[in-house]
Amino acid sequence: MARVEPSRALIDTGALLALANPRDQHHAQAVAIGRRQVARGARWLGSTLVLGEFHAHVLRLRGATAARDLLQALLDDPAYEWIETSVSLIESALALWLDRFRDRPCSLTDAVSFELMQRERIQSAFAFDNDFVTAGYELLSA
């Protein structure tokens, strides 16, 4: 019998923050999505821009020690694959996504995520941001 590779989904900053903060409005939904996906053997793909955003938010909300510890935990967890955000990746995101959504407030981090999803042929995002739907991707749900 052939081995089936676990599915991959992009993970966005909002999902990471919801998982880390029990007071987040999306916390219960994020935990349910995360548990279901992990039970299926799924892996998360994200960019170093997502890590940077996550660290900055946790640093502001919970302080340096929590921000550092949570960042290290994400880097150490084999369920996560982190892609370095190169200048060429940013240039592609600018040309293909930020130009496309010129009249919408689309962040560089989201544009890089869309480009990663396209390159890696990933259709689903663990996010609470409808910009992913606007870009043609689906959001994971509980």
* Structure token digits, residue 43: 């892996």
What strands lie across the sheet with 43-47, from one edge to the other? 80-83, 43-47, 8-11, 124-126, 138-139
What's the pLDDT score for residue 4? 42
CA count, 13 A, side-chain hemisphere, 33: 23
What's the pLDDT score for residue 83? 97
Q: Is residue 13 part of a domain?
A: yes
For the chain, how many structural domains are there in total?
Answer: 1
Q: Is residue 39 part of a domain?
A: yes
CATH number of the domain where residue 21 is located: 3.40.50.1010
d(CA 41, CA 135): 26
What's the pLDDT score for residue 106? 87
pLDDT tens column, 102-117 = 888 889 999 999 999 9
d(CA 85, CA 90): 7
Q: Is residue 127 part of a domain?
A: yes
* Structure token digits, residue 66: 């929590």
* Structure token digits, residue 67: 């921000």
Q: Is residue 115 part of a domain?
A: no
Q: Is residue 71 part of a domain?
A: yes
pTM metric for this prediction: 0.91
Q: Is residue 37 part of a domain?
A: yes
Q: Is residue 42 part of a domain?
A: yes
User: Going by C-beta distance under 8 Å and a sequence separation of 6 or more, which residues neighbour residue 51?
Assistant: 71, 74, 75, 82
Q: Is residue 34 part of a domain?
A: yes
Single-letter amino acid, residue 39: A
pLDDT, mean of residues 36-58: 95
Residues spanned by the domain of 130:
8-85+122-139
pLDDT tens column, 60-109 = 999 999 999 999 999 999 999 999 999 999 999 999 998 888 888 889 99
